[in-house]
Amino acid sequence: TIQGARAADSGKTLYTYFEAPESGFDPARNSDHYSGEVFSSIFEPLLTYDYLARPQTLVPNTADLPEISPDGMTFTYRIRPGIYFSSDPAFGGQRRELTAADYVYTFQRLVDPANRGAPWDFMFKGKVIGLDEKIAAAANGEFDYDSPVEGLQALDRYTLQIRLKRPDYNIPYITAAPATGVVAREVIERYGDDIDAHPVGTGPFRLKTWERRNHIVLEANPEYRGTTYSPVERDGVEFDHEVAQRLQGKTFPRLDTIDIRIIETAQASWLAFQSSQIDLHPRLGANYALLVAPNNELAEKYVKLGWHYFREAEADITYYQFFMDDPVVGGYTPDKVALRRAISLAFNQAKMISVVRNNQALAAQSPLAPQINGYDPEFRNVLGLYDPAKAKAMLDIFGYVDCDGDGWRDLPDCKPLRITYLSSSSQGGSRDTEEMLIKGLADIGIRLDTDVMNFSDFLKARQAGKFQFSGGAWGQDYPDAENFMQLLYGPNSGVVNDSRFRNAEFDRLYEQIASEPPSDARNERLREMSRIVNAYVPWIVEANRIRTHLAHPWVVGFKPHPDNMPHYLYLDIDWSQMPADLHARRESE
């Protein structure tokens, strides 16, 4: 039923921005974050996260929470009847109801290499029974969507069943990822290569106009069923009660239009927010964040303006990685470990965070990120404390001394010790990092060169193992430690494990945690894995970013979510809070 999807008085427009351009709105083909922000409001996955619950908690979306077989290998979803796609010529004027078969189709699209190499295929590849065979068959022909897959079936119109080769308790998370949002086959087939511009989903919004990499306008989807918010009740889950209060009793979406501009310079978006050209400023530039809330408290003058201010750690991590097969910086013998450890001791994490990140980050202690299962805020990297004296001592002991008297340390065999840091020219702000690394290493007598290449060559070089030392970052695909630890899993070397770290104990533990549901024992195994990483230093963990988000007083219901998605669904505008002149200006536009 189309009940009050437009409950709100029409004309409510939220102005916001993206700091980087989107690429397109086909979930199967686009894996960049900002495309995701848009299609997360258009397409609906089976499950979703509760908007306000922390830690992230799954709640039903188009389907109820799945039935999970005791062996953790079979997942059965019941899709709610009466959910419709927004109207589109592809449906020939008919209302089109969502069915289980749509998800079967959608998930298969995610692994079809024809979709630009299928950037999301890791979510199902190697897991679902019968799917890998189908992918292999598609290698020399078209992907066959029609033949049945044993592990991915619509049991009836509303029942979807997923069967796995091995237990994986992350499947519910995966089925909550925006990329698994459901698409309709008619639409995909109708628009062909133009599908990026024609997202047709069941979600609260639909695409109104799109000027690529400049301006995206979403409007409320009139076919949307409408939703209300009631907090999930589960143990250990907390809420922002204040926001919950404001959402109480309303039917969403309340907004008529969402107007998104691409504003790539931090200064520009900050200025735009100040002049109320945008209502919402997620992810404030670090400098501005500091300005707005110098001591983690909104500055007085902004409090007076009534700004809403949020500061939260994100579920991501930045790190530096060594190429473990490299003859100089790689290797597992004590002398090799010592070199990497010395470098990690020369890295002043605290200073990095205070100067480069303006304190807008947590000092990372393990390869894990906050806000996810298995993250332990108490865990400390006891081996990674900044200590140049100790670093020098270590280098001395293992023979990395200055042989030729040029002031720089050499390898134990007196060959010159030169390390090259690989970075890309399109990485914003990498200069600071490089300056810091070069200085830090110079302090302990190691010369660091930098090699800057364009972004694509950088990605390729890193992937192909043509580097010694490089930066890296990872954000969650789903809120579980496994999603992070996979980056260091030996058998993943060269695919997701760019540093090619191989450690038998680590790998054994990984295999274990990958197939078990969360538990205290599992958490201890994760800590052990972190200790191994901190001891062998394939990575120097750097930071978990803290983001500051701002909203003007007339934006109601905003709360940043750890999944990094905008959740426009729950936002509203309170005209009464808006200055009259601004309101008038908005009305006239």
Partner 1 sequence: MGRYFIRRLWQTIPTLAGVILLVFILFNLFGGDPAAILAGKIVSPERIATIREQLGLNEPLWVQLWIFVKQVMTFDFGDSWSTGESVADIISQKAPVSLTIMVQVWLLDAIVSISLAVAVAYRRGSLTDRAVMGICTAAMSISLLLYVVIGQYVLGYTLDLFPVLGWSDSLWTNLTTYAPLPVFLLLLVSIAPSLRLYRTFIVEETTHDYVRTARAKGASENRVMFVHVLRNALIPIMTNMAMQLPGLFVGSFVIESVFSIPGLGKEIVAAVLRSDFPVIKAITIYLAILTMLVNLLVDLLYSWLDPRVQLK
Partner 2 sequence: MTAPAKSSSAPVSEGFWRAAGRRLFADPLARVCIAIVSVYFVLAALSAAGLIAADWNEEYGVSYANPWFLGEDYPNPQGRNSLISQETMVIDDKQRAVDPLAPYYDEIEERAMQYQLTQRELRWTLPLGADKWGRDLVRKVIKAGEISITVGIGAALLAVMVGTFLGAIGGFFGGRTSDFLEWVYNVFTSVPYILLVLAFAAVTGKGINTIILVLGFTGWTSVYRLIRAEYIKQRSRDYVAAADALGASSARKVFIHILPNVSHLSLVQLSQLVVDFIKAEVILSFLGLGVPPDSVSWGIMINEVMTELVLGKWWQLATVAIVMSVFVVSFGLFTDLLRDALDPKATRR
Least distance in Å: CB of 93 to partner 2?
A: 48
Determine the size of the site formed for partner 2 (CB under 8 A). 61
380 binds partner 1 (CB under 8 A): no
CA-CA distance, 558 to 423, in Å (whole number)?
36
Least distance in Å: CB of 388 to partner 2?
A: 7
Residue listed under structure tokens 């002043």? 348
Instruction: Show Cβ contacts of residue 15 under 8 Å, excluding neighbours closer than 6 positions.
Output: 259, 261, 277, 278, 279, 280
Pairing of strands 308-313, 447-453: unpaired
Length of the chain: 589
Pattern of binders to partner 2 over 510-529, x per CB under 8 A? -----------------xx-
Instruction: Map the footprint of partner 2 across residues 244-283, applying CB under 8 A.
Output: 265-267, 270
Could you say which of 24, 167, 201, 367 contacts partner 1 (CB under 8 A)? Answer: 24
Q: Which of 375, 50, 63, 62 has its CA nearest to residue 233? A: 50
385 binds partner 2 (CB under 8 A): yes
User: Letter for the amino acid at 197?
Assistant: A
Instruction: Map the footprint of partner 1 across residues 451-510, applying CB under 8 A.
Output: 453-457, 459-460, 462-464, 477, 494-496
Nearer of residues 312 and 335 to partner 2, judged by Cβ: 335
Could you say which of 95, 157, 215, 508 contacts partner 1 (CB under 8 A)? Answer: 215
Concatenated DSSP letters for 420-477?
A: EEEEETTSTTHHHHHHHHHHHHHHTT-EEEEEEE-HHHHHHHHHTT--SEEEEEEE-S
CA-CA distance, 541 to 24, in Å (whole number)?
32
Binding piece for partner 2, criterion CB under 8 A, among 112-120, 223-231, 433-441, 566-574 = 433-441
CA-CA distance, 217 to 211, in Å (whole number)?
9
Instruction: Map the footprint of partner 1 across residues 267-326, applying CB under 8 A.
Output: 267-268, 271-272, 274-275, 277
Instruction: Show Cβ contacts of residue 73 under 8 Å, excluding neighbours closer than 6 positions.
Output: 163, 164, 165, 166, 167, 168
What's the N-to-C CA distance of the chain in angstroms? 32
Which one of partner 1, partner 2, none is in contact with 434 (Cβ closer than 5 to 8 A by kind)?
Answer: partner 2
577 binds partner 1 (CB under 8 A): no
Which one of partner 1, partner 2, none is in contact with 218 (Cβ closer than 5 to 8 A by kind)?
Answer: none
Instruction: Map the footprint of partner 1 across residues 237-276, applying CB under 8 A.
Output: 261-265, 267-268, 271-272, 274-275
| Helix ranges (DSSP H) in 177-293 | 185-191, 241-247, 266-274, 286-292
Beta bridge partners of 267: none
Residue listed under structure tokens 């599908």? 195
Residue listed under structure tokens 């990498």? 430
393 binds partner 2 (CB under 8 A): yes
Least distance in Å: CB of 140 to partner 1?
A: 11
**Both tokens assigned to 368:** 């894990």
Q: Indicate the SS3 state at residue 136.
A: helix
214 binds partner 2 (CB under 8 A): no
Q: Which of 347, 341, 304 has its CA nearest to residue 537? A: 341
Least distance in Å: CB of 49 to partner 1?
A: 20
Residues binding partner 2 (CB under 8 A): 265-267, 270, 285, 287-288, 290-291, 294-295, 332-334, 337-338, 341, 349-351, 354-356, 358-359, 380, 382-383, 385-390, 392-394, 396-397, 425-426, 428, 431-432, 434-435, 438-439, 450-454, 505, 527-528, 531-532, 534-536
Residues binding partner 1 (CB under 8 A): 21, 23-24, 29, 31-32, 113-114, 116-120, 122, 193-194, 196-197, 211-215, 261-265, 267-268, 271-272, 274-275, 277, 425-426, 453-457, 459-460, 462-464, 477, 494-496
